[in-house]
């Protein structure tokens, strides 16, 4: 049983900066982007400390990719500033950045090893070094046998791994992954999660966008929740969860009795259970009243809010529903 955190941690950018107290890899202020007069991104603020795993969480069409593209300098914001390692022109420090776009793509006739070396060369890594490192990376990921095979001869999962290795071959300090788990089976998702953790352990900053909350919850120290082009929350995952109080689940033998008056007004009944937010005064006064009223407590648990609950609370039911639909659609595919 987990107990609620009574004094909330600081929230937003300040929160994650204060918690980490390290220099920022990415800093964006008031990013705005319009396409044909339509506002795609509306005043996004994001701060990502160096070495963090940071998630950008939102349903499809929320503005995640556009935000990432602005951060990377692929497109320029109409308003606002972005800095990557202190530079407002990310191409100037291209060697420090690795990027895996949402829409995976490689030249089908290229050999796997050449594809990795080419992606390294785009970031300034000499081709020979890229090939050498590429072979080592392929070996480490059990793909050594595929080094000389053309991309078109590889399975989808293998090609995705090759592209990811191409993203990392020049040993970047910042890795940006747009929907990296999309299209991967459970085993490869697990592998990718391990790779992300490994990168972070080596001091690499990892930013990824996702519409699957569990990935963000498992991996990220900080998240930016994005919906309708706006970022209603950016900060630590912990702070996001602390935004809503812990949930109490109570099971009693007695269905009715005077003790029910002691339950908070917003308690709801589902079958044999009562659910309600943990009262500000704590659980002890309520517990005493339940015992005195002979409610017959069978079980009582206090569960800290998950990131999903925090997302619903911050972004709204509609955004959460859209995320679930995206997830279901992807699972269906």
Partner 1 sequence: MSSAVTSPVTSDQNSRLSLLQAAMVVARRDFVAILFSRSFLFFLLGPIFPLVLGLMSGGLGAAAAEQANQARIALQMPSQDMVAIRAAHQRIEDELGPGRIPHFYWFDRADGHKELDPQEMLGDPSGRYGAVLTGTLESPTLIAPPEQMGAWRGFVAMHLAIAQGQQEIAYPALETEISDVSGTKTKNQRQDTAQLSMTLLFLLMMLLAGMVLSNLVEEKANKIIEILAAALPMDAVFLGKLFAMLAVSLVGISVWFGGIAAFIAIAGDVGDVQATLIGMPTPAIGWPLFILMFVVNFSMGYLLIGSIFLAIGALASTVREVQTLSMPVTMLQLFIFFFCMFTLFSGTAWLEVAAILFPLSSPFAMTARAAMYPELWPLFVAVGYQTLWVLIFIRTGSTLFRKRVMKSGGGGATKAGLSQRFKARFAKAS
- For residue 120, what are its two tokens? 């390294």
User: Does residue number 102 form part of the binding site for partner 1 (CB under 8 A)?
Assistant: yes
- For residue 193, what are its two tokens? 């999660």
CB contact at 8 A, 116 and 165: yes
- Pairing of the two strands 53-57 and 222-227: parallel
CB contact at 8 A, 193 and 184: no
User: Does residue number 282 form part of the binding site for partner 1 (CB under 8 A)?
Assistant: no
User: Does residue number 241 form part of the binding site for partner 1 (CB under 8 A)?
Assistant: no
CB of 199 to partner 1, least distance (A): 17
Q: Which of residues 294-323 bind partner 1 (CB under 8 A)?
A: none
- For residue 191, what are its two tokens? 């592998």
| CB of 104 or CB of 243, closer to partner 1 | 104
Q: Which of residues 26-45 bind partner 1 (CB under 8 A)?
A: 27, 35, 40
User: Does residue number 153 form part of the binding site for partner 1 (CB under 8 A)?
Assistant: no
Q: Which of residues 70-99 bind partner 1 (CB under 8 A)?
A: 72-76, 83, 85-87, 91-97, 99
Alpha-carbon span 304 to 240, nearest angstrom:
11
- For residue 303, what are its two tokens? 């569960």
In SS3 terms, 134-181 reads as HHHHHHHCCCHHHCCCEHHHCCHHHHHHHHHHHHHCCCCCEEEEECCC
CB of 148 to partner 1, least distance (A): 15
- Selected from 11, 66, 252, 313, the binder of partner 1 by CB under 8 A is 66
User: Does residue number 254 form part of the binding site for partner 1 (CB under 8 A)?
Assistant: no
- Selected from 12, 17, 245, 278, the binder of partner 1 by CB under 8 A is 17
Alpha-carbon span 230 to 315, nearest angstrom:
10
Q: How large is the C-alpha radius of gyration of the chain? A: 23
User: Does residue number 221 form part of the binding site for partner 1 (CB under 8 A)?
Assistant: no
| CB of 61 or CB of 306, closer to partner 1 | 61
| CB of 21 or CB of 270, closer to partner 1 | 21
Distance of CA 109 to the CA centre of its chain: 33
Applying CB under 8 A, the residues found at the interface with partner 1 are 13, 17-18, 20-25, 27, 35, 40, 47, 49-50, 60-61, 64-66, 69, 72-76, 83, 85-87, 91-97, 99, 101-110, 118-119, 121-124, 173, 178-179
């Amino acid at each position: 049983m987990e107990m609620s955190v009574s004094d909330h941690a600081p929230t937003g950018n300040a929160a994650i900066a204060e918690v980490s107290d390290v220099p920022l890899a990415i800093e964006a202020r008031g990013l705005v982007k319009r396409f044909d007069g339509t506002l795609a991104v509306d005043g996004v603020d994001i701060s990502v400390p160096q070495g963090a795993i940071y998630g950008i969480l939102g349903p499809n069409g929320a503005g995640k990719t556009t935000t990432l593209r602005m951060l990377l300098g692929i497109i320029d914001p109409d308003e606002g500033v972005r800095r990557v390692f202190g530079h407002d022109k990310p191409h100037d420090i291209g060697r420090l950045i690795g990027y895996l776009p949402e829409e995976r793509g490689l030249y089908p006739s290229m050999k796997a090893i050449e594809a990795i070396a080419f992606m390294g060369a785009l970031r300034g890594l000499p081709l020979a070094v890229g090939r050498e490192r590429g072979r080592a990376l392929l070996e480490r990921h059990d793909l050594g046998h595929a080094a000389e095979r053309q991309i078109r001869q590889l399975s989808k999962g293998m090609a995705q791994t090759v592209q990811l290795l191409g993203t990392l071959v020049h040993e970047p300090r910042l890795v940006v992954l747009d929907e990296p788990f999309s299209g991967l089976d459970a085993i490869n998702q697990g592998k990718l999660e391990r790779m992300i953790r490994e990168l972070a352990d080596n001091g690499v900053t990892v930013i990824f966008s996702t519409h699957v909350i569990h990935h963000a919850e498992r991996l990220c120290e900080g998240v930016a929740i994005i919906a309708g082009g706006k970022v209603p929350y950016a900060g630590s995952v912990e702070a996001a969860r602390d935004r809503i109080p812990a949930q109490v689940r109570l099971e009693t033998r007695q269905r009715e009795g005077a003790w029910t008056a002691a339950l908070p007004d917003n308690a709801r009944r589902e079958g044999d259970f009562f659910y309600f937010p943990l009262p500000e005064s704590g659980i002890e006064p309520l517990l005493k009243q339940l015992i005195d009223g002979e409610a017959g407590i069978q079980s009582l648990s206090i569960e800290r809010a998950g990131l999903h609950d925090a997302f619903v609370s911050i972004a709204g039911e509609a955004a959460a529903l859209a995320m679930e639909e995206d997830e279901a659609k992807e699972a269906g595919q």
